[in-house]
Amino acid sequence: MFTGTYTALVTPFKNGKVDFKSFENLIKLQLSSKVDGIVPCGTTGESPTLSHEEHNQVIEFAIKIAKGKAKVIAGTGSNSTSEAIKLSKHAEESGADGVLLVSPYYNKPTQEGLFLHYKKIANSIKIPCVLYNVPGRTSKEISSETIFRLSKIKNITTLKDATGNIDTGSEAINIVDKNFSVISGNDSITLPLIAVGGKGVISVLSNILPKEVKKMVDLALSGKISQAAKYHHKLWRLFNDIFVETNPIPIKTALYMAGIIETNDFRLPLCKMNNENKKILVKAFNDFGYKF
């Protein structure tokens, strides 16, 4: 079971290749801020455009830097069950603490197909599995009934709820037992979800503001909801404006402007922000007190 603050890491690029120097800088920022864990090769890490070799290298590198200092949940999901198994086995062999498994995209499986997909992956490895429910990306939601069935599989321990709907997360919390955790996949509803029993967040904003996000989450998990709410309201505009364009375009742009990563490179079909949205992003950070 995973609890606390986990950062969904961007994957920096330079001259068409993974920029491991910038990636190390980013990971060390997370470690110095005492986040509970990092998540390489998720949606924020532009995983769909990484080759299998790059994917494995990024995960191995993240584990090498973070091992013993923060947990590493490796993004290993795929719309191909056999491919997800292959990536998950590699992550396990490399020393990952768990795997993040996005629900299959494009195929549009039935709920039974989703259940069998996750069951087969979980049975192929021993480390914990995190279900990743993000219908806005995949077009297919994991139903509450399917989540309940999957929660009974020993090493499926956590749900990342990125539906953006507090009711969906609340229902999941109601149906699973205390040994299964539901964490937010949307920064803006982290506090509301924790208030009804959620256990943390896989955060995008914590790439650049890990201390602030962690403080909010730690306060909330310790029952200090009113104090956590002060951080929530202070961060709320950023929680939203880092999605003014498709993630990870805004957060990667912010990291570049902050000098945390060396270049602002993306892989097509993602591209650099348009100027008007960039102005919105910069203003949100400036108003927060973060000056580029």
Nearest CA-CA partner of 15 in 252, 267, 241, 198: 267
In the chain, the domains with their CATH numbers are 4-217 (3.20.20.70)
pLDDT band at 231 (very low <50, low <70, confident <90, very high): very high
Quote the pLDDT of residue 195.
96
Quote the pLDDT of residue 212.
98
CB distance 108 to 139 below 8 Å:
yes
Q: Which amino acid is at 205?
A: L
- State pLDDT tens for residues 149-164: 999 999 999 999 999 9
Following DSSP, what letter does each residue of 21-39 receive, concatenated? HHHHHHHHHHHHTT-SEEE
Longest dimension (CA), the chain: 49
- The overall average pLDDT reported for the chain is 96
Gyration radius (Cα) of the chain, Å: 18
Quote the pLDDT of residue 83.
97
Q: Is residue 292's pLDDT more than 90?
A: no
| From 71, 140, 160, 215, the catalytic residue | 160
Quote the pLDDT of residue 249.
98
Rounded percentage of the chain residues whose pLDDT exceeds 70: 100
Nearest CA-CA partner of 214 in 228, 196, 198: 228
Nearest CA-CA partner of 214 in 186, 240, 238, 190: 190
Quote the pLDDT of residue 1.
79
| From 132, 140, 199, 214, the catalytic residue | 132
- State pLDDT tens for residues 198-221: 999 999 999 999 999 999 999 999
Q: CA-CA distance, 286 to 172, in Å (whole number)?
A: 37
Quote the pLDDT of residue 255.
98
Mean pLDDT across the stretch 117-131? 98
- State pLDDT tens for residues 69-104: 999 999 999 999 999 999 999 999 999 999 999 999
Mean pLDDT across the stretch 187-191? 97
Mean pLDDT across the stretch 118-134? 98
Q: Is 290 a catalytic residue?
A: no
pTM exceeds 0.85 for this model: yes
Q: Is 132 a catalytic residue?
A: yes
Quote the pLDDT of residue 57.
98
